[in-house]
Amino acid sequence: MQLVNAEVVTISPLTEFVHKVTLKPDTAVSFEAGQYLQLVLGEKDKRAFSIASRPSMHHELELHIGASGADSYAMQALEHLQQAHTNKQSVVLEVGLGISQLRVDNQRPIILLAGGTGFSYIKSMADHLAEIEFTQPVLLYWGVKEESALYAKQEMEAWAASRKNFQFIPVVENASATWQGHTGYVHQAVMKDIVSLEPYSIYMAGRFDMIGVVRDDFINHGAEREHMYADAFAFIK
Protein backbone atom coordinates (compact mmCIF):
# COMPACT_ATOMS: atom_id res chain seq x y z
CA MET A 1 0.00 0.00 0.00
CA GLN A 2 1.24 3.44 -0.94
CA LEU A 3 0.22 6.60 0.91
CA VAL A 4 0.11 9.62 -1.42
CA ASN A 5 -1.23 13.15 -1.64
CA ALA A 6 -3.09 13.95 -4.82
CA GLU A 7 -4.54 16.94 -6.61
CA VAL A 8 -8.18 16.65 -7.70
CA VAL A 9 -7.87 17.54 -11.39
CA THR A 10 -11.45 17.06 -12.65
CA ILE A 11 -14.86 15.98 -11.42
CA SER A 12 -17.35 15.45 -14.23
CA PRO A 13 -20.73 13.72 -14.52
CA LEU A 14 -20.91 10.41 -16.41
CA THR A 15 -24.65 10.06 -15.70
CA GLU A 16 -27.09 11.77 -13.35
CA PHE A 17 -25.69 9.69 -10.44
CA VAL A 18 -22.14 8.69 -11.44
CA HIS A 19 -19.15 11.03 -11.44
CA LYS A 20 -15.73 10.58 -12.97
CA VAL A 21 -12.90 11.92 -10.82
CA THR A 22 -9.33 12.31 -12.04
CA LEU A 23 -6.53 12.68 -9.53
CA LYS A 24 -2.88 13.61 -9.97
CA PRO A 25 -0.71 11.98 -7.29
CA ASP A 26 2.35 13.93 -6.17
CA THR A 27 4.52 10.89 -6.83
CA ALA A 28 4.32 7.98 -9.29
CA VAL A 29 1.84 5.35 -8.07
CA SER A 30 2.15 1.61 -8.36
CA PHE A 31 -0.84 -0.75 -8.29
CA GLU A 32 -2.26 -3.76 -10.12
CA ALA A 33 -5.30 -3.80 -12.41
CA GLY A 34 -8.36 -4.53 -10.27
CA GLN A 35 -7.05 -2.98 -7.05
CA TYR A 36 -8.72 -0.17 -5.16
CA LEU A 37 -7.71 2.92 -3.23
CA GLN A 38 -9.01 4.50 -0.06
CA LEU A 39 -9.81 8.17 0.17
CA VAL A 40 -8.79 9.21 3.66
CA LEU A 41 -11.44 11.46 5.25
CA GLY A 42 -10.17 10.93 8.80
CA GLU A 43 -7.89 8.64 10.77
CA LYS A 44 -10.61 6.01 11.01
CA ASP A 45 -12.73 7.10 8.07
CA LYS A 46 -11.45 5.76 4.76
CA ARG A 47 -13.68 5.26 1.71
CA ALA A 48 -12.91 2.51 -0.81
CA PHE A 49 -13.11 3.12 -4.57
CA SER A 50 -11.90 0.90 -7.39
CA ILE A 51 -9.19 2.40 -9.58
CA ALA A 52 -10.62 2.65 -13.11
CA SER A 53 -7.37 3.67 -14.76
CA ARG A 54 -4.77 1.12 -15.86
CA PRO A 55 -1.56 0.49 -13.92
CA SER A 56 0.73 1.91 -16.62
CA MET A 57 -0.76 5.37 -15.88
CA HIS A 58 1.57 6.05 -12.97
CA HIS A 59 0.74 9.77 -12.74
CA GLU A 60 -3.05 9.78 -13.03
CA LEU A 61 -5.80 7.93 -11.17
CA GLU A 62 -9.41 7.73 -12.39
CA LEU A 63 -12.40 6.91 -10.20
CA HIS A 64 -16.10 6.38 -11.01
CA ILE A 65 -18.18 7.31 -8.02
CA GLY A 66 -21.88 6.48 -7.92
CA ALA A 67 -23.42 8.90 -5.46
CA SER A 68 -27.06 9.55 -4.66
CA GLY A 69 -28.68 10.57 -1.38
CA ALA A 70 -27.17 13.46 0.56
CA ASP A 71 -25.63 11.49 3.42
CA SER A 72 -24.50 8.43 1.53
CA TYR A 73 -21.02 6.96 1.92
CA ALA A 74 -20.16 7.91 -1.65
CA MET A 75 -21.76 11.38 -1.59
CA GLN A 76 -19.69 12.39 1.44
CA ALA A 77 -16.56 11.24 -0.37
CA LEU A 78 -17.55 13.17 -3.47
CA GLU A 79 -18.18 16.31 -1.41
CA HIS A 80 -14.73 15.95 0.17
CA LEU A 81 -13.20 15.73 -3.32
CA GLN A 82 -15.26 18.69 -4.57
CA GLN A 83 -14.17 20.83 -1.64
CA ALA A 84 -10.50 19.97 -2.20
CA HIS A 85 -10.89 20.78 -5.89
CA THR A 86 -12.48 24.17 -5.18
CA ASN A 87 -9.92 25.09 -2.50
CA LYS A 88 -6.99 23.70 -4.50
CA GLN A 89 -6.05 21.45 -1.60
CA SER A 90 -4.71 17.93 -1.95
CA VAL A 91 -6.46 14.78 -0.76
CA VAL A 92 -4.84 11.81 0.95
CA LEU A 93 -5.03 8.38 -0.70
CA GLU A 94 -4.00 4.84 0.17
CA VAL A 95 -3.31 3.25 -3.22
CA GLY A 96 -2.98 -0.42 -4.22
CA LEU A 97 -5.39 -2.25 -1.89
CA GLY A 98 -7.35 -5.47 -2.33
CA ILE A 99 -6.65 -9.08 -3.21
CA SER A 100 -8.87 -9.42 -6.28
CA GLN A 101 -6.48 -8.02 -8.84
CA LEU A 102 -6.07 -9.52 -12.29
CA ARG A 103 -4.03 -12.74 -12.62
CA VAL A 104 -2.85 -13.47 -16.15
CA ASP A 105 -0.13 -16.04 -15.51
CA ASN A 106 -2.44 -19.10 -15.84
CA GLN A 107 -3.81 -18.17 -19.29
CA ARG A 108 -7.41 -19.12 -18.44
CA PRO A 109 -10.19 -17.37 -20.39
CA ILE A 110 -11.61 -14.49 -18.41
CA ILE A 111 -15.06 -13.19 -17.48
CA LEU A 112 -15.18 -9.60 -16.23
CA LEU A 113 -18.57 -9.00 -14.60
CA ALA A 114 -19.82 -5.64 -13.35
CA GLY A 115 -23.07 -4.45 -11.83
CA GLY A 116 -23.52 -0.67 -12.12
CA THR A 117 -20.45 1.25 -10.91
CA GLY A 118 -18.67 -2.07 -10.36
CA PHE A 119 -17.65 -1.22 -13.93
CA SER A 120 -14.76 0.85 -12.53
CA TYR A 121 -13.10 -2.34 -11.22
CA ILE A 122 -13.25 -4.17 -14.54
CA LYS A 123 -12.38 -1.13 -16.68
CA SER A 124 -8.80 -1.11 -15.37
CA MET A 125 -8.44 -4.82 -16.12
CA ALA A 126 -10.00 -4.53 -19.59
CA ASP A 127 -7.61 -1.74 -20.58
CA HIS A 128 -4.63 -3.59 -19.10
CA LEU A 129 -5.52 -6.79 -21.00
CA ALA A 130 -5.65 -4.78 -24.24
CA GLU A 131 -2.31 -3.19 -23.45
CA ILE A 132 -0.56 -6.52 -22.82
CA GLU A 133 -2.27 -8.05 -25.89
CA PHE A 134 -3.78 -10.91 -23.89
CA THR A 135 -4.60 -13.79 -26.22
CA GLN A 136 -7.25 -15.80 -24.28
CA PRO A 137 -10.97 -14.97 -24.64
CA VAL A 138 -12.14 -12.06 -22.46
CA LEU A 139 -15.90 -11.62 -22.00
CA LEU A 140 -16.88 -8.32 -20.40
CA TYR A 141 -20.47 -8.28 -19.06
CA TRP A 142 -21.76 -4.97 -17.71
CA GLY A 143 -25.22 -4.95 -16.13
CA VAL A 144 -27.18 -1.81 -15.38
CA LYS A 145 -30.72 -0.97 -14.35
CA GLU A 146 -31.42 1.45 -17.22
CA GLU A 147 -29.73 1.83 -20.59
CA SER A 148 -28.77 5.42 -19.71
CA ALA A 149 -26.37 4.03 -17.06
CA LEU A 150 -24.13 2.47 -19.76
CA TYR A 151 -21.95 5.57 -19.76
CA ALA A 152 -18.96 3.87 -21.42
CA LYS A 153 -20.86 1.77 -23.98
CA GLN A 154 -19.18 3.24 -27.04
CA GLU A 155 -15.75 3.05 -25.45
CA MET A 156 -16.22 -0.64 -24.59
CA GLU A 157 -17.57 -1.41 -28.06
CA ALA A 158 -14.35 0.07 -29.44
CA TRP A 159 -12.35 -1.98 -26.88
CA ALA A 160 -14.08 -5.18 -28.06
CA ALA A 161 -13.53 -4.28 -31.71
CA SER A 162 -9.80 -3.81 -31.07
CA ARG A 163 -9.08 -7.57 -30.64
CA LYS A 164 -10.86 -10.64 -31.92
CA ASN A 165 -10.71 -12.42 -28.52
CA PHE A 166 -12.52 -9.59 -26.67
CA GLN A 167 -16.32 -9.36 -26.32
CA PHE A 168 -18.46 -6.69 -24.65
CA ILE A 169 -21.96 -7.71 -23.57
CA PRO A 170 -24.10 -4.96 -22.00
CA VAL A 171 -27.15 -6.16 -20.04
CA VAL A 172 -30.07 -3.89 -19.14
CA GLU A 173 -32.28 -4.97 -16.26
CA ASN A 174 -35.29 -2.78 -17.08
CA ALA A 175 -34.94 -2.52 -20.83
CA SER A 176 -37.04 -0.31 -23.09
CA ALA A 177 -38.85 -1.79 -26.10
CA THR A 178 -36.05 -0.59 -28.39
CA TRP A 179 -33.19 -2.33 -26.49
CA GLN A 180 -31.82 -5.19 -28.57
CA GLY A 181 -29.41 -6.91 -26.19
CA HIS A 182 -29.66 -9.05 -23.05
CA THR A 183 -32.13 -8.07 -20.33
CA GLY A 184 -32.56 -8.94 -16.63
CA TYR A 185 -29.74 -9.56 -14.14
CA VAL A 186 -26.28 -9.51 -15.63
CA HIS A 187 -25.13 -12.83 -14.17
CA GLN A 188 -28.19 -14.59 -15.56
CA ALA A 189 -27.15 -13.40 -19.00
CA VAL A 190 -23.74 -15.02 -18.43
CA MET A 191 -25.39 -18.33 -17.48
CA LYS A 192 -27.62 -18.13 -20.54
CA ASP A 193 -24.61 -17.65 -22.84
CA ILE A 194 -22.16 -20.13 -21.29
CA VAL A 195 -22.93 -23.80 -20.64
CA SER A 196 -20.31 -24.31 -17.90
CA LEU A 197 -18.17 -21.71 -16.14
CA GLU A 198 -15.56 -24.28 -15.13
CA PRO A 199 -12.73 -23.10 -17.44
CA TYR A 200 -13.00 -19.41 -16.55
CA SER A 201 -11.33 -16.99 -14.18
CA ILE A 202 -14.13 -14.69 -13.05
CA TYR A 203 -13.68 -11.16 -11.69
CA MET A 204 -16.73 -9.40 -10.31
CA ALA A 205 -17.85 -6.16 -8.65
CA GLY A 206 -21.21 -4.69 -7.78
CA ARG A 207 -23.57 -4.38 -4.82
CA PHE A 208 -22.81 -6.73 -1.93
CA ASP A 209 -26.21 -8.48 -2.24
CA MET A 210 -25.50 -9.05 -5.92
CA ILE A 211 -22.05 -10.57 -5.30
CA GLY A 212 -23.41 -13.15 -2.83
CA VAL A 213 -26.08 -14.27 -5.31
CA VAL A 214 -23.63 -14.39 -8.22
CA ARG A 215 -21.06 -16.41 -6.28
CA ASP A 216 -23.61 -19.08 -5.35
CA ASP A 217 -25.33 -19.22 -8.75
CA PHE A 218 -22.01 -19.36 -10.60
CA ILE A 219 -20.69 -22.21 -8.43
CA ASN A 220 -23.90 -24.12 -9.26
CA HIS A 221 -23.13 -23.36 -12.89
CA GLY A 222 -19.67 -24.97 -12.72
CA ALA A 223 -17.44 -22.07 -11.66
CA GLU A 224 -14.48 -22.96 -9.44
CA ARG A 225 -14.42 -20.92 -6.23
CA GLU A 226 -10.62 -20.55 -6.30
CA HIS A 227 -10.88 -18.84 -9.70
CA MET A 228 -13.53 -16.30 -8.61
CA TYR A 229 -12.35 -12.90 -7.44
CA ALA A 230 -14.24 -10.07 -5.71
CA ASP A 231 -13.12 -7.80 -2.90
CA ALA A 232 -16.75 -7.81 -1.75
CA PHE A 233 -16.23 -11.46 -0.62
CA ALA A 234 -14.41 -10.02 2.41
CA PHE A 235 -17.58 -8.13 3.42
CA ILE A 236 -20.23 -10.83 2.91
CA LYS A 237 -20.93 -14.30 4.31
Ligand X SMILES: Cc1cc2nc3c(=O)[nH]c(=O)nc-3n(C[C@H](O)[C@H](O)[C@H](O)COP(=O)(O)OP(=O)(O)OC[C@H]3O[C@@H](n4cnc5c(N)ncnc54)[C@H](O)[C@@H]3O)c2cc1C
In angstroms, rounded to a whole number, what is the distance separating the alpha carbons of residues 157 and 40?
35
Q: Quote the least distance from Cβ 133 to ligand X, whole Å.
A: 26
Residues facing residue 25 across a β-bridge: 6
Task: Please report whether residue 197 would count as binding ligand X according to CB under 6 A.
Answer: no
Q: How many residues bind ligand X (CB under 6 A)?
A: 30
Task: Please report whether residue 62 would count as binding ligand X according to CB under 6 A.
Answer: no
Q: Judge contact between 156 and 141, C-beta under 8 A.
A: no
Q: Which residues have a Cβ under 8 Å from the Cβ of 92 and sit 6 or more positions away?
A: 3, 4, 5, 6, 39, 40
Among 25, 34, 55, 66, binds ligand X (CB under 6 A): 66
Task: Please report whether residue 192 would count as binding ligand X according to CB under 6 A.
Answer: no
Q: Where are the alpha helices (DSSP H) in 87-148?
A: 119-131
Q: Quote the least distance from Cβ 160 to ligand X, whole Å.
A: 19
Rank residues 205 and 223 by Cβ distance to ligand X and give the closer one: 205
Task: Please report whether residue 145 would count as binding ligand X according to CB under 6 A.
Answer: yes
- Name the segment binding ligand X (CB under 6 A); options: 128-136, 138-146, 175-183, 193-201: 138-146
Among 96, 116, 134, 194, binds ligand X (CB under 6 A): 116
In angstroms, rounded to a whole number, what is the distance separating the alpha carbons of residues 185 and 173?
6
